[in-house]
Structure formats: C-alpha cells, structure tokens
Structure 1
Amino acid sequence: MQDNTFWWRGGVIYQIYPRSFMDANCDGIGDLKGIAEKLDYVASLGVDGIWLSPFFTSPMLDFGYDVSDYRDVDPMFGTLEDFKTLLARAHALGLKVMIDQVISHTSDQHPWFQESRVDRTNPRADWYVWADPRPDGTPPNNWLSIFGGAAWTFDSRRRQYYLHNFLTSQPDLNFHHPEVRAAQLDNMRFWLELGVDGFRLDTVNFYFHDQALRDNPPVPAGEAKTLGAPDANPYTWQRHVYDLSRPENLDFLRELRALMDEFPGTTTVGEIGDDNPLARMAEYTAGGDKLHMAYTFDLLNAPHSAAYLREVIERFQRLAGDAWPCWATSNHDVVRSATRWGADEDPVAYPKVALAMLFSLRGSVCLYQGEELGLMEADVPFERIQDPYGKVLWPEFKGRDGCRTPMPWENVENGGFSPAGVEPWLPVEARQLPLAVAAQQDDPASVLSATRRLLAFRAAHPALVDGDLTLVDVGEDLLGFVREGAGERILCLFNLTAEPHETRLPLAVDHALEGHGFRARLDGDTLHLPPYQAAWFAVS
C-alpha cells in the first residue's frame, strides 16, 4: 500500500467545475450541495481525489477567478458549512480534496484593491502593481493582457496605471511586497486548517513581475509561439520574459512549500503557461522544496500524434531531473480532447485509447469532468457565450464555454443537471445527452466503463503509478515505453490511429497483462495492434 502522505504521487485527481457539475438548488447553476450529492459517482471511478475550481466570493466576471474574499463561499455555490459537509463526505469516501488558489491577482472589488486605489500613501498603496504613465500618457510598457489589449489600465484617483494580466477587473498583486506574500500564505493556511488536502495554483508563474518594467521582446520571425493561448491573440506574439516566470518566484514557492510541510499529506499542483513550459515545470518541482507537481499545456494543445507525444515525453525527461509532472488532456480552459484530438476519429474507441495512454504516463493525472464519458466540445451560440475571453476574440476563438457546459447525468431535458424548465447558465449540448452517465453506466463497451477498468488496472500495477519511464522504438505510428518500479517492468504500447499497425516487440516479454479491456495479437515477437488499441506486457 502506498504511503498516504504521498497519495498525490501517481494519483488521479478528478477536476470538478462547480458551476457545471450538479445544480442542487434548481437555479441553473451548479453548487457545493450538488457536488456532494455526486461524490459517490466520482469515488466509483477509482480516482484518488477531486480538484474544485473556484467557489469563493466573487463578482464572477471571470467565473470565480476574480476573488473578492479568499475565505468564504460565494452564495451562488452555497455556504462555508456546505463546503465543510462536502469535505467530510469526500473524506468518508476516501477522496482527497484539492481547491483552486488564485493568488496572483484579485477582483477589483476586493477590499485590498479598494483601499490601494484610493491614493499613493495608504497602508496597501503598494499591494498592487502601480506605475506612472510614460510622458505621453501611454502605459508604462508593452505588456499585454491574455484577454486582449494592454495589460495596464489607468486609474484617475492615483493618476497611475495598474497591471492586470487578465481582465481589467483582475488587478495583479505585487508579490515583491512581503505583506502581500504573508497575507496570501495566511489565506491558504485558513483552508489547510479546515482540512483540505492541497491546492491547484492558478497561473503559478505569474506571481512576480520585473520591477524595472522592461518591454517584452517580440517572438522572432519564424519561431514557434509556445504559450497556451490561441494564435488569434496578440499575446502570443511576445516572448514573455519580464511579465512572468521571474526568478524571485522560486523563493516564494519555497515559502509555500514550508507551509504545506506543516500539514503532512497535503500537496500542490501548479498551472504553468510559459514560453518554455517543460523547463519551467522542472524548475518549479525539482529539489523537493517547491511545488509537489506542475502541469503545462503540452498535452492541452492540438498536436497529438505518436511522434509528438514521444517528443514531449523525451523533452520532459531530458529537462526534468527529479521533477514530478501532472498530466491532463482536458480542463476548463481548452477544447475537450475528444474534439481537439479526436474530431476525425472514432468517437468511442479514440477516447478510450487516449485515456489508456494518459493513465500510463509517468506522473500524476488530472481527469476533467466528462472526459470519462468521451464528451465532445459543446457548440455554444454567440448569444449564449458567457466567457469574456470568447467575446473579445470571436469568431476566430469562441472562448472556453464549449468545455464548461453542464455535465449530462441523464438523457433528459437539461441532462439531469437542472430540472426541466430551468434554464442552465450555459446550454446543455444535445449531442452529449446520449453520452450521459445513466446511458453509459451499465454498458461494458462505454467510455465510462473503460475509464473504470483502466483506473483499476493502473491501481493494480504499482509500476504504472510511480515507476520510471523509458521510451522504446516501435515505429513512427505507435507509442511505446517501459514503466518500471516496485518489482514490476511493464511494456506499454498504443495505437492512437484509425489504421492497424504491427511492430516487432523491442524486448522480450513474459506475458500479456489483462484486465484493461483492449485487444491485440502477438505472433511470435510481432505485435498486431488494431485501430485505437493498446497492449501491456510483463517484462522480466
């Protein structure tokens, strides 16, 4: 049995987007009571814990990623008592609970900012990033907001600009100020003392900025844009040298780790959007004194061929050292993988083999709600778009609402998320209704059943949970690697294409492992993998 202190190492964490999981009070918006009602289902998948996207008090201009009170629940989602009930229920089911922490910026409605913007001499005057205009009145430098336009907004009271990497209503905190760092660590201590098991850290490399406010350089002509933002966004046209991933962040992450170490068994996973994401992941998780885990957008973008996946794994292993990754192929910010990767593939077979690959990688896993159902991206018409990101860049980029639509529980009106006759905050995608939980629950051929088999298979083989990984050559069209640990060596092979492929096994095997639901044929030392199939072999 794995030491529970290190449950996160190789753990599978189910991400819940509270607005869209389950509407218990029938107002069209998901809530904490709704999540608590469905925790038995989550536990039945075989995951180790849950991650809750923000549920804190907020004006909801960025759907909770604009926090106005770090220590309370927005009435939209319930009460702090509802959260405590959810926490107790999850723990009773053996599920760990991680919550989002959005500490790089606040809402402009947060009392800290309301005080800071009054004048240049108040006690919190320097808690945010303020800067004088250039002599011609323009912003201090060329930094851009991810959500479009300059990353600076002028405030007439202070006659200065304030920095916001996202919406104008999300001013950036000044992490160079020791009181800011201490206040945010204290806010996290509040939730740790309530009993949460860890944090997902939003934009973890955005905390510090260059104090000299130097301009970012452009991306040189012909070089790839690597940040996890759409090409239609000018934000990708800069190399983000000075507005994020500053070296001072490492010392703060050490302060954060010291706090976490006061609560054994807790963990952190950081979201990294960077020009060099895997290198940053390695930097932020290496050494055992900073983050426990981090994830990047390398599996959250469009490329997904076997060659690309090999390159990501190889690049991570070259850079990682003792770093520990957390892999995801979908989340609340990107097009669902069944569409982003699988639009032209078999809608049932492809999600299964993609999950098989994800669950076999070295690292921990975040599984986004609905991915276990093989949900495709929803088509949200412009008049129903809620995401401010989509409103700015429409139609080239339609925002993130397509992956945030309500979870389909039953093949009925509103998918069982809200009662019939109640309009959900985002429309339920009609194409998803036949994929509802109730429709897949008892079907052994469903993506849901495959998810449960694969997670049970992973849990039964320690090498798949915490073993080392070595890539093997099985040709251009297949992905292969060996996982080794706890006395096991397992050869893992994947055909993510619609064509059958065969390959000579790269090493001698003892026998095929069973219990995962995939099929392959071994003829001597030649493996025949049908379309969208995988195979695992025990190796001496």
Structure 2
Amino acid sequence: MSMPEWWRGAVIYEVYPRSFQDSDGDGVGDLKGITRRLPYIAALGVDAVWIAPFFTSPMADMGYDVSDFRDVDPLFGTLADFDELIAQAHALGLRIIIDQVYSHTSDQHAWFKASRASKDNDYADWYVWADAKPDGTAPNNWLSVFGGPAWEWDGVRMQYYMHSFLASQPDLNFHSAAVQQELLDTARFWLDRGVDGFRLDACNHYFHDAKLRDNPPAVRGGGFDVQDTNPYGFQEHRYDKTQPENIAFLERLRAGLDEYPDRVAMGEVGDGVRSPQTVGLYTMGKDRLHLCYTFDLFGTEFTPVYFRKVVDSFERAAKQGWVCWALSNHDVVRHATRWTPPGEDPRQIAKLAIGLLVALRGAICLYQGEELGLTEAELRFEDLRDPYGIRFWPSFKGRDGCRTPMVWEAEVAQAGFTSGTPWLPIPEVHREAAVDVQEGDPDSLLGAYRRTLRLRKAHPALSVGSIQFLEAPVDLLAVVRESAEETLLCVFNLSPEPVPWSGADVAGQLGQAFAGEDLVLLGWGQLLIPLDGVSRVQAVDA
C-alpha cells in the first residue's frame, strides 16, 4: 500500500459508526459492524475510510465530546476491535482515517475536572478560563456554534470557561505548551496502532485570541455557516477562531506524521467566506496539512454558477494546496434532498452529482448512504437525539435526518442494521434503496457510483489533472480536466430539460477541432468526452 501522495486523488468514504452496522443488538452501530461491512466499502472502489469518533464519551454530542482520547467507548467496542478493523481494512487495500477532536473535550474529561478544581494546579491553564466583567457578565461577545454565548460560568473555579460548541464541550487552551504536547502524543498513539491519517475536526478552532477581543458584526449572507435561525452567523469570527498561532501547531503535527510513511492530515475548515483563504494557508507547502475538507458545497443552490464560483474561489486561494470535496456529511441535509426540485427523481440528481464530484480537482469524500440515494429522513421531535436540532426546533431540525441507519436488506427487520431497536428510526422509504435491492441491478445508483469511481481511477486527469471551466449555455457546467497523458471534457446539464451546445463554440474555446458536431445534453444528463491529447487546452477566463 506504499504510495506517496496517495491522498491527492483519493476517494474517501465517511462512516458514521453509530449508524453503519450494529453487531450486538443494542441498536447502535459499532466497530465490529464496520469490520463486517469493509468488503462492501472496498467494492465501491474507494481508497480510504474516514471513521467519525468512537472514543470514550458521555455522548452529549454523539462522540464529539471526548472524555478519553486513547480508548474506545464501550458502546462501539474495544481497542482490540479497532486493531482488528485496521488489519482487515489493510488486507482489503483500504486505508483508515480517524477523527481527532482536538479543539475541545467533554466536561467529563479528567483534564477538565482537574482544571476546574483550582487556578494553580497542573491543569489550571489547559482550558480557556476568564474572569467575569465587573457586572458579572461574560468576558466578551463570542457566541457558540450551537447557540447562545460561548461562555459558561463555573461556580467551583468562579470563572467563565469558553465553549465553541455545547456548554459540556469546554475548549482546550492551545496557548498552553502542555496541551499541544499531549495532543501530539495522542496522535502518535493512534499512528502507532496503524491508522493512515486523521480528519482534524474543527481545526481552525484550536486557538483563540489571547486578548479576548470582541468579534465585530458579520456582513449578512456570507458563508455556509450563516444560518438565520442561529445568532452565530451574526458575527465575523475574527478572534474566536482561525488565529495565526495555529500555523505553528499544524506544522508540529505534520512533522510528527512525516515520521510515518504515507500518513495524511486532513483538516476540517468551516470558516464562512474565509474558507478558501484558510484552506490555502493551512495546506501551503509541504510542512502543513496535506489537504482540507470544507463545507462549501453543502449549500442548497444547484446551478453551474454556484459550482463554478465555489471551485474558482479555491483554485485562486489554494493554488499550492489541496482540497477534499464533499457534497454531504453527517452534519448537513443529504444532497439528494437539498438539490432535487419538486417532482424530480432524487436518484437522477444523485447520479448527476457523483459524476460532477468526480470531475472536480482534489480528493473527494462520500458519506455513507449517498451511494444508495438516501434522502433526508423526516423525524418527529420526539425522535431527535441531536442537541443542535433540539435547541433550534422547529426552524432548524438538526442533523439526525442525515444520520439514520444504513439500509442493508429491504425485507429484513430494521433493514439489516440491527437485531434490536435502532437508536434512530429507519424510514420505510429507505428500504426500497437497500443494498441488496441495488446489488443485482446494473442500472441502480449503487452501480452508477461504482462505475463512476472506476472511471476516475482509469483517468488520472480526473484525480490530479488541472481544471478549467468553459463558457456554456446557462444550465450547463463544462469542465476541462487535463494531465500530461490526456484531456477530458466533462459536461453536466443541471436542469430537467434538454440543452443544446454549439460544437463550433466548444471548439473555439478549446482551441482545437471538436468533430464539427453540436452537443445536446438530455435533462440531468452528463457527458465525458476524451479530447486530442496532443492539442493543449487554452486558458479560459474564469
């Protein structure tokens, strides 16, 4: 499996452990369940599996509130189960990437319990503590991603502590050298167990402004993380995250990974309108992160203008870096729902979307179930487990709708996910998309995913080649991908109606003959056209 820079063209498959496969009947997926289904993942044609947190946790935020970074929560299994998962994955040619949640811990972590006990113990400065203002209010105006102030009063220490997420998720203080070293040692613990890399949760949240300056108001209508239901989007997050000191820590982390062959660090960057610049900064050169995962294609707009605008912004800001593109994950409404107009077939949109994703320059990440065309589940308030959704219901229904369990067998109880009661209900409409239904159908969406991923592997231009956009009719997105070996034209019709495109127009922009024919793309259609590899594609004005 030794392959330097394998990550550049990688296809990564995200597994949300509690919803993938349950092996013991408790209704929650686990590590043994993932191991059982590794052959299915390998058959998709992916290169790596990203596993969301499975560490010891009180599960207030479904495992993103860690109380022990170096152990497996009993809900998911044991360290021995994880070691077996690694061994089986490697035997199948799959790499394993695990989430590392460094920006904060659970308030049940031993570090926090020690830190809150006094202001002068060994852990006193491991978290972000601050005195109240003279009137007793919080130190500044910073807000939590999950709503309300980012400060919680602690009556033991008689200070406020910072929490960028839930009040039960206190932020670690990266200005402490001891904190940095402990986290670097934690990374080494998992590297020694054989993991192939890390997905660094909220990696631009590591440092805060040491002067605790107020954030200014935001320009409304900015980045993805601006939600009208949440006041978090009312601020420009200038001081509570994305601080310059972060670069030095990322360089220390990268240096540690470089001691192990072929390992990768993929940062999650949610930074609104600043995301392209932050990704460029974090992936510049060879001594920072290898690549970054962003939220920028998680919007609701499904137009050529939208995709071109997003991709162009990263091409300009992160020329020396590398992006991992995704259309869905465990935090957002599934794209088969977000992008399907009323009356249209979500499977058609999903088939078009995977073709479009494969045509982008960078690594790509798939979220479990999108290869089946799973749509967002409609859940009752009583079924919700996500604290974010419970907090903002009904204007924002939270993240549980995209986290319902995988459907493996249509006619089996609980769709083959568990023999018990699943932690979230399984929508009946998902059964018709079950794996066993699609396996034997060459025209299924699952079959289309497998073929499309094989196509990406067969054409290096699609994974590591350059990217340029052509001017095209309003509903068409036209992408030229070029490597030393080949040039490909990828065209997508993001509308339900047929769209013609003049062959002369195509040829004129390519600077080469184009068979003298016009193109007609059917509704939601897509084409991949190999071009003459000798003729070079001319620069296209973005």
**Superposition TM-score tier, normalisation by shorter sequence:** over 0.9
Match of 1:534 among 515, 521, 526: 526
Residue 465 of structure 1 aligns to a residue whose secondary structure is: helix
| Residue number in structure 2 paired with 1:318 | 316
Q: Secondary structure at the match of 1:81?
A: helix
Alignment of 1:385-396 (within 5 A): 385-396=384-395
Aligned equivalents of 1:484 and 1:523: distance in 2?
Answer: 19
**TM-fit CA distance, 1:118:** 0.2
Equivalent positions of 1:310-389 (< 5 A) are 310-344=308-342, 345-389=344-388
Letter in 2 for 1:50: V
Is residue 2:440 matched to residue 1:442? yes
Taking the aligned partners of 1:228 and 1:442, their CA distance within structure 2 comes to: 40
Q: Quote the Cα distance in structure 1 between the aligned partners of 2:480 and 2:426.
A: 41
Q: State the alpha-carbon separation in 2 of the partners of residues 485 and 264 from structure 1.
A: 26
Structure 2 gap segments, 5+ residues each: 509-513, 533-542
Contact 1:391 1:398 in 2 (8 A): yes
Contact kept? 1:278, 1:315, Cα under 8 Å = yes
1:229: how far off? 4.9
* Match of residue 536 from structure 2: none
Residue 354 of structure 1 contacts residue 496 of structure 1 at CA under 8 Å; is this kept in 2? no
**2:78 alignment counterpart:** 79
Asked whether the 8 Å contact 1:230–1:397 carries over to 2, the reply is: no
2:88 alignment partner in structure 1: 89
8 Å Cα contact 2:336-2:347 kept in structure 1: no
Query: How far 1:116 moved relative to its partner?
Result: 0.3
Q: Is the 8 A contact 1:384 1:426 kept in 2?
A: yes
Aligned position for 1:214 = 213
Q: Deviations over 1:440-480 (max 9, x none)?
A: 11111111000000001111111111111111112221111
Alpha carbons of structure 1 residues 491 and 20: separation in structure 2 relative to 1, 3 Å: same
Which residue is 2:246 aligned to? Answer: 249
Shift of 1:227: 4.1
1:199-224 CA distance string (max 9 Å, x none): 0010010000001101111124xx42
Per-residue deviation, residues 194-251 of structure 1 (Å, max 9, x unmatched): 110000010010000001101111124xx42314253200000100000000111111
Q: 2 CA distance for matches of 1:104 and 1:414?
A: 36
CA distance in 2, matches of 1:350, 1:172: 39
Shift of 1:523: 8.4
- The 3-state SS of whatever aligns with 2:520 is strand
Instruction: Give 2:500's aligned amino acid.
Output: E
The one-letter code matched in structure 2 to 1:465 is S
Distance in 2 between the 1:343 and 1:527 partners? 25
Residues 474 and 504, structure 1, Cα contact 8 Å, conserved in 2: no
Q: Which residue of 1 aligns with 2:502?
A: 504
* Cα shift at 1:525: 2.6
Q: Could you list the per-position Cα deviations for residues 400-431 of structure 1 after superposition, in whole angstroms to 9, with x for gaps in the alignment?
A: 00000000001133111012xx2100000111
| Equivalent-residue separation in structure 1 for 2:140 and 2:453 (angstroms) | 49
Q: Secondary structure at the match of 2:203?
A: coil
Structure 1 residue identity aligned to 2:448: A
Distance 2:276 2:301 in 1: 16
Alpha-carbon deviation of 1:496?
2.0
Tell me whether 1:145 sits opposite 2:137 in the alignment: no
- Write the distance in 2 (CA, Å) between the matches of 1:36 and 1:430: 26
Offset of 1:334 from its aligned partner?
A: 0.2
Match in the other structure for 1:67: 66
CA contact (8 A) 1:326 1:363 kept: yes
AA matched with 2:518: T
Q: Counterparts of 2:229 and 2:437 in 1: how far apart (Å)?
A: 38
Aligned pairs for 1:4-403 (under 5 A) are 4-220=3-219, 223-275=220-272, 276-344=274-342, 345-403=344-402
More deviation, 490-499/175-184:
490-499
Q: Secondary structure at the residue paired with 1:195?
A: coil
Q: Is the 8 A contact 1:228 1:301 kept in 2?
A: no
Query: 1:461 maps to which residue?
Result: 459
Q: Deviations over 1:239-295 (max 9, x none)?
A: 000000011111111111101111121111111111311111111111121111112
Q: Match of 2:340, SS?
A: coil
CA deviations over 1:112-150 (Å, ceiling 9, x no partner): 101000010000100000000000000000101111111
- Correspondence for 2:540: none
In the alignment, the residues of structure 2 paired with residue 388 and residue 131 of structure 1 have an alpha-carbon distance, to the nearest angstrom, of 26
SS class of match (2:199):
strand
Match of 1:513 in 2: none
One-letter identity of the residue aligned with 2:414: N
Instruction: Please say if residues 272 and 296 of structure 1, whose CA atoms lie closer than 8 Å, have aligned partners that are also in contact.
Output: yes
Contact 1:508–1:539 (CA<8 Å) still a contact in 2? no
Distance 1:355 1:314 in 2: 19
Q: Show CA shifts across 1:288-325 (max 9, x none).
A: 21111112211012122111111112211121221100
Does structure 2 retain, via aligned residues, the 8 Å contact 1:471–1:480? Answer: yes
Q: Using the alignment, how far apart are the partners of 2:173 and 2:2 within structure 1?
A: 38
Q: Partners of 1:432 and 1:178 in 2: how far apart?
A: 49
Q: CA deviation at 1:91?
A: 0.3
Query: What is the distance in 2 between the residues matched to 1:204 and 1:131?
Result: 22
* Residue identity (%): 54
SS at match of 2:254: helix
Partner Cα distance (1:114, 1:122) in 2: 11
| Secondary structure of 1:270 counterpart | strand
Residues 523 and 530 (structure 1), Cα distance of their counterparts in 2 relative to 1, 3 Å cut: farther
- For 1:418, the equivalent position in structure 2 comes to 418
Letter in 2 for 1:278: P
Aligned to 1:188, the other structure's residue is in SS state helix
CA distance in 1, matches of 2:108, 2:115: 11
1:42-91 deviation digits (Å, cap 9, x = unpaired): 00000001000000000000010000000100000000000000000000
1:384 partner amino acid? D
Deviation for aligned residue 1:487:
1.0
Distance 1:194 1:467 in 2: 34
Q: CA RMSD in A?
A: 1.4
What secondary structure is seen at the aligned counterpart in 1 of 2:138?
coil
The one-character-per-residue Cα deviations of 1:134-177 (angstroms, maximum 9, x if unpaired) are 00000000101111111000111111000000011100000011
- Alpha-carbon separation, structure 1, partners of 2:227 and 2:397: 10
Taking structure 2 as the reference length, what is the TM-score of the superposition?
0.95
Structure 1 residues 280 and 216 mapped into 2: Cα distance closer, same or farther (>3 Å)?
Answer: same
- Distance, in Å, in 1 between the alignment partners of 2:227 and 2:447 is 34
- Calculate the TM-score normalised by the size of structure 1: 0.95
> C-alpha separation between the residues in 2 aligned to 1:281 and 1:475?
31
